[in-house]
């Protein structure tokens, strides 16, 4: 899924302040619960709260920061690739 800063803001506007992993998959922000689990284990994903041993919630502001970071790094890679092709 391709994002830009504006679409991220629009997409996340109606989300609750704390979001369950399943909700993130259902709305299409992540492909699977397994992906979110791997990101948490590696420390690469958005910040989250562990409310109990099995209850995880992602704060909306952390999710937005993560998505924008991903968008910026994806944009930088694409810009570098285009630049390399031109030279």
Confidence bin at 8 (pLDDT 50/70/90): confident
pTM of the model: 0.73
What's the confidence (pLDDT) of residue 14?
83
- Cα distance between residue 29 and residue 32, in whole Å: 9
Q: What is the pLDDT of residues 28-79, one digit of tens each?
A: 889 999 999 999 999 999 999 999 999 999 999 999 999 988 877 666 554 4
Distance between CA atoms of residues 66 and 72, nearest Å: 10
The pLDDT score that the predictor gives to residue 80 is: 47
Query: Is-contact 36 20, C-beta < 8 A?
Result: no
């Amino acid at each position: 899924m391709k994002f830009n800063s504006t679409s991220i803001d629009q997409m996340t506007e109606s989300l609750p302040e704390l979001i369950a992993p399943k909700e993130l998959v259902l709305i299409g922000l992540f492909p699977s619960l397994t992906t979110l689990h791997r990101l948490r284990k590696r420390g690469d994903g958005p910040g989250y709260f562990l409310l109990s041993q099995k209850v995880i919630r992602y704060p909306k502001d952390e999710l937005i920061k993560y998505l924008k970071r991903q968008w910026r790094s994806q944009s930088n890679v694409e810009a570098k690739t285009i630049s390399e092709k031109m030279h």
